[in-house]
């Protein structure tokens, strides 16, 4: 069975195994406690991302040695619940709407997702009910979970029946997902139209001078592009004017980025001008949803040879659920994670939306590794990740006998030597006693923000984003 560790993630990204020696870990007991090896998954995803960043920075600067990478369980645990730590002028955001929850059914449980107004309307339309949690609970208690799942999805809403890992393993979508690698990587060919010049003066951030077109929503995709912004990329998030983002969600994942509104059906010229000089396009919509706009990976690469196209989905771009909408909470329910983390009487959840955050850091790592590979050949790269495949990796760790918080690599506090390698204090594991050491505050146009600092850390790397989030959709749709 597959171990949940950084070495496996790094191999899935096509990285040089020798570079894993550059990674050290500050282990903290009590971080992301769960039945499943959530801490190990979170640590592995962040470590792989930090190593990919350090590698790209070294190669672009033509340095022989890759800087040392330090992964601190405290920083990782804090960042993996960044949406819970966010405060805007002292106000905590609401992360789940009243109709986004578990419901008892006639034969088990179902979980719904209705944070966005259009998803709430479709859910209620499918159930033919008013917006009354009591009425929804009474109606769902009389129907089977499978029937509810199909009815709501048929109406364009989101509901998933609770399954065990064994049930998911037999499900047609589960079989399809399990057959895929953690990170799907493809090199279709094509020569880069231009190589962005490295900015002159001062230390070079790994992604400095690179332009990233961000077509993502919710958590995983924006976490990936937020990380690329941290590393120096010019990240422009583009949304349809018809689909406003939840403002608190945007505040949490908008650090370092700019945000513009562009209607793909009404302002195509603007989008094509952005694409013409982009280096990376990251998409987080359902597989095929952007194809009707001519935005499939193949179509994008044809118009912009040498592009890196990174795709994120909930269920994967294959199988009977390929075109279904999905979120972290629903993937936990379908794959059996909620059954494992439950009490026996009721389903449960991971201590963080770890599928979202973990996949986000892996997606950023896949982009960074693609950019490193392009330094040699300049060819187009496609990378694809799915929340359900990340869930499968977590469950494989359980099957391999890894208990939650059981695998420790390295110990104590680390620092960097003059060569940029991580050096250990062998004092043993520390204790995670809260997030305070990894929280910061700053003013922004949105108000005074308290937020989680980035967990990606390597010698000479950034410790915070260059700018706070901007109000959604208020930037001009052009590169800086």
- pLDDT recorded at residue 48: 98
- pLDDT recorded at residue 347: 97
- pLDDT recorded at residue 185: 97
Q: 120-124, 253-257, 261-265 — which one is most confidently predicted on average?
A: 253-257
Q: How confident is the model at residue 119 (pLDDT cuts 50, 70, 90)?
A: confident
Q: Under the phi-then-psi rule, with left for phi > 0, alpha for psi from -120 to 50, and beta for the rest, what region is 439?
A: beta
pLDDT digit string, tens, across residues 214-235? 999 889 999 999 999 999 999 9
Q: Is the pLDDT score of 455 beyond 70?
A: yes
Tell me which of 303-317, 318-332, 350-364, 413-427 is least confident: 413-427
Q: How confident is the model at residue 151 (pLDDT cuts 50, 70, 90)?
A: very high
Q: Under the phi-then-psi rule, with left for phi > 0, alpha for psi from -120 to 50, and beta for the rest, what region is 161?
A: beta
Tell me which of 3-17, 226-240, 386-400 is least confident: 386-400
Q: What is the DSSP letter of 157?
A: -
Answer whether 350's CB lies under 8 Å from 34's CB: yes
Q: Is the pLDDT score of 79 beyond 60?
A: yes
> How many angstroms separate the CA atoms of 53 and 223, rounded?
15
Answer whether 83's CB lies under 8 Å from 115's CB: no
pLDDT digit string, tens, across residues 140-150? 999 999 999 99
Using alpha carbons only, give the angle 437, 50, 297 rounded to the nearest 5 degrees.
125
> pTM of the prediction?
0.93
Give the list of residues 6+ apart from residue 264 with CB closer than 8 angstroms, or none. 240, 271, 290, 293, 295
Structure tokens at 163: 């399954």
Give the list of residues 6+ apart from residue 119 with CB closer than 8 angstroms, or none. 113, 157, 158, 325
CA 440 from centre of chain: 21
Q: How confident is the model at residue 2 (pLDDT cuts 50, 70, 90)?
A: confident
Q: Is the pLDDT score of 427 beyond 50?
A: no
pLDDT-above-90 percentage for the chain: 76
Higher pLDDT, 145 or 189: 145
Q: How confident is the model at residue 408 (pLDDT cuts 50, 70, 90)?
A: very low
Q: 186-195, 318-327, 381-390, 391-400 — which one is most confidently predicted on average?
A: 381-390
Phi, psi of 274 (to 5 degrees): -65, -45
pLDDT-above-70 percentage for the chain: 91
Q: Is the pLDDT score of 320 beyond 70?
A: yes
- pLDDT recorded at residue 98: 86
- pLDDT recorded at residue 101: 93
pLDDT digit string, tens, across residues 331-367? 999 999 999 999 878 999 999 999 999 999 999 999 9
Q: Is the pLDDT score of 406 beyond 80?
A: no
Q: How confident is the model at residue 423 (pLDDT cuts 50, 70, 90)?
A: very low
> How many angstroms separate the CA atoms of 325 and 152, rounded?
11
Q: How confident is the model at residue 403 (pLDDT cuts 50, 70, 90)?
A: low
Tokens 């972290």 — which residue? 328
Q: Is the pLDDT score of 409 beyond 90?
A: no
- pLDDT recorded at residue 428: 58
Q: How confident is the model at residue 465 (pLDDT cuts 50, 70, 90)?
A: very high
Averaged pLDDT score across all residues of the chain: 90
Q: In what order do the strands lie in the sheet with 102-104?
A: 102-104, 109-112, 159-161
Tell me which of 331-345, 363-377, 399-413 is least confident: 399-413
Tokens 């795709």 — which residue? 311
- pLDDT recorded at residue 407: 36
- pLDDT recorded at residue 294: 84
Answer whether 424's CB lies under 8 Å from 410's CB: yes
């Amino acid at each position: 069975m597959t171990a949940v560790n950084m070495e496996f993630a790094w191999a899935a990204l096509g990285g040089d195994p020798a570079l894993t020696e550059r990674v050290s870990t500050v282990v903290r007991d009590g971080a992301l406690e769960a039945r499943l090896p959530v801490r190990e998954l979170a640590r592995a995803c962040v470590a792989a991302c930090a190593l990919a960043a350090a590698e790209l920075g070294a190669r672009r600067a033509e340095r022989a040695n890759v800087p040392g990478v330090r992964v601190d369980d405290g920083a990782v645990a804090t960042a993996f619940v960044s949406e819970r730590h966010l405060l805007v002028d002292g106000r905590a955001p609401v992360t789940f709407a009243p109709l986004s929850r578990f419901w008892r059914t006639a034969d088990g449980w179902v979980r719904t997702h209705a944070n966005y107004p259009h998803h709430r309307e479709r859910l209620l339309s499918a159930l033919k009910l008013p917006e009354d949690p009591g009425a929804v609970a009474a109606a769902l208690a009389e129907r089977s979970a499978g029937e509810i799942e199909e009815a709501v999805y048929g109406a364009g809403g989101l509901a998933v029946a609770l399954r065990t890992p064994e049930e998911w393993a037999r499900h047609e979508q589960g079989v399809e997902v399990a057959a895929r690698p953690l990170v799907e990587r493809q090199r279709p060919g094509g020569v880069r139209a231009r190589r962005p010049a490295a900015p002159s003066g001062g230390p070079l951030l790994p992604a400095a001078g690179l332009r990233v077109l961000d077509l993502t929503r919710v958590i995983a995709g924006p976490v990936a592009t937020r990380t690329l912004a941290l590393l120096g990329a010019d990240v422009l998030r583009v949304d349809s004017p018809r689909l406003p983002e939840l403002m608190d969600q945007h505040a949490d994942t908008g650090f370092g980025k700019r945000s513009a509104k562009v209607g793909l059906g009404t302002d195509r010229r603007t989008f094509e001008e952005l694409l013409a000089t982009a280096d990376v396009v990251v998409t987080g919509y359902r597989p095929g949803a952007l194809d009707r706009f001519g935005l499939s990976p193949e179509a994008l690469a044809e118009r912009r040879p040498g592009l890196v196209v990174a795709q994120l989905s909930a269920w994967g771009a294959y199988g009977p659920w390929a075109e279904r909408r999905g979120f972290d909470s629903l993937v936990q329910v379908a794959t059996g994670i909620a059954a494992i983390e439950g009490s026996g009487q009721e389903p449960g959840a991971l201590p963080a939306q770890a599928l979202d955050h973990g996949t986000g850091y892996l997606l950023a790592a896949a982009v960074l590794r693609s950019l490193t590979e392009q330094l040699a050949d300049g060819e187009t790269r496609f990378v694809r990740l799915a929340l359900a495949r990340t869930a499968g990796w977590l469950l494989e760790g359980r099957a391999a006998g890894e208990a939650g918080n059981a695998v420790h690599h390295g110990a104590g506090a680390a620092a960097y030597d003059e060569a940029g390698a991580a050096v250990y204090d062998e004092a043993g594991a520390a204790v995670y006693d809260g997030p305070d050491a990894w929280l910061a505050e700053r003013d922004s146009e949105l108000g005074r923000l308290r937020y989680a600092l980035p967990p990606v850390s390597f010698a000479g790397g950034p410790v915070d984003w260059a700018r706070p989030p901007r109000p959604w959709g208020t930037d001009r749709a052009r590169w800086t």
